[in-house]
């Protein structure tokens, strides 16, 4: 069967349009359909009454969801908080945050997590001061 040149051109354009609509690439190229978020979003510490000093070291495992990996973890307070890594490769991955003990006058200090698309979210360090009864 022989097709005319205009019909061949139209069919080629339709094929190219169909192939182009298939997409391709990964989240880093196309953007992520899920917003970058962390679980938990806060790292709580109990400080004695009248203080912003934490006593007992504790740790929390933080999971990354959404966005596009790899993820960079920035810790502005390495003397106060330790992170198990500064990079998580894949969505659903995790890192551990440990409180090293010490004091801070900073309200809402935290760990910044940034994905390859430059989206960022913060894990907030939240001090809760005990009342006079110690609770």
Longest dimension (CA), the chain: 93
- In angstroms, rounded to a whole number, what is the distance separating the alpha carbons of residues 49 and 51? 6
Domains of the chain as residue ranges with CATH: 33-129 (2.60.40.10)
pLDDT, tens digit (0-9, with 9 covering 90-100), for 68-116? 999 999 998 888 888 999 999 999 999 998 888 776 655 566 889 999 9
DSSP one-letter code for 133: T
Q: What is the tens place of the pLDDT at every residue in 38-79? A: 999 887 766 666 665 665 557 889 999 999 999 999 998 888
| pTM listed for this prediction | 0.66
The CA-CA-CA angle for residues 110, 113, 119, to 5°, reads 125
Alpha-carbon span 66 to 56, nearest angstrom: 32
pLDDT value at residue 49: 63
Which helix (H) or strand (E) is 83 found in, with range?
Answer: strand 81-83
Q: How far apart are CA 95 and CA 39, in angstroms?
A: 11
């Amino acid at each position: 069967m022989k097709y005319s040149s205009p019909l061949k051109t139209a069919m080629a354009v339709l094929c190219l349009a169909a192939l182009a609509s298939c997409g391709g690439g990964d989240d880093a190229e196309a953007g992520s359909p899920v917003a970058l978020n962390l679980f938990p979003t806060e790292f709580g510490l109990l400080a004695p009454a009248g203080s912003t000093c934490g006593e007992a070291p504790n740790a929390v495992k933080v999971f990354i969801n959404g966005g596009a990996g790899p993820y960079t973890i920035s810790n502005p307070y390495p003397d106060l908080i330790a992170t198990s890594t500064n990079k998580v490769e894949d969505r659903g991955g995790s890192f551990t945050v440990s409180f090293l003990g010490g004091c801070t006058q900073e309200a809402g200090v935290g760990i910044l997590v940034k994905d390859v698309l430059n989206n960022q979210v913060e894990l907030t360090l939240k001090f809760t001061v005990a009342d006079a009864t110690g609770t």
